[in-house]
Homo-oligomer: A and B are copies of this chain.
Amino acid sequence: MSYSRDALISLLQRHDIGPTHQRLEIAQVLFSRGEHLAAEQILALVNEHRAETSKATVYNTLNLFRDRGLIREVIVDPKRVFYDPNTQPHHHLYNVDSGEITDIPADDLVVSGLPELPPDMVTTGVDIIVRMRARQP
């Protein structure tokens, strides 16, 4: 799916994010692909045609988007963080060999028996990661 410039602007604005050129470019890459991308991949994609955005801005922007709830971090690979434009509750299937991440819809999945938290604590998220690899030949 592709997003019009206006759609992206209003998306950012609904999250209290000023719609600058660089932020729109980065949002474009994230939302049009709908993939799980690492910062360095986003940096490369944004500058594919001509250099438009610096490394610092990509990192700043991803942190901003994450803080504002526009995207979500996926922590499955100790080497780098992936960013997920889908903020609906869902989980992840991680191919350990290829590094590929795919979604597991949350509504197919039920978890019961989670422990009580201490009363002054709140859950910020439940991440389920199913790791898989190719069967040994």
A4 within 8 A of partner (CB): no
The binding surface of chain A is classed by DSSP as: strand
Question: Which residues of chain B have C-beta atoms less than 8 A from A124's C-beta?
Answer: 96, 131-133
A73 within 8 A of partner (CB): yes
Binding site for B on A (CB under 8 A): 73, 75-78, 80-81, 93, 95-96, 104, 108-115, 117, 120-135
Given A75-B75, A78-B75, A128-B128, verify A104-B115 contact (CB < 8 Å): yes
Choose among B93, B108, B121 the residue that contacts A132 (Cβ–Cβ < 8 A). B121
Shortest 4 CB-CB distances between A and B: which pairs?
A: A109-B113, A108-B113, A121-B132, A124-B131
Given A73-B78, A133-B121, verify A128-B111 contact (CB < 8 Å): yes
Given A77-B75, A78-B73, A114-B109, verify A121-B134 contact (CB < 8 Å): yes
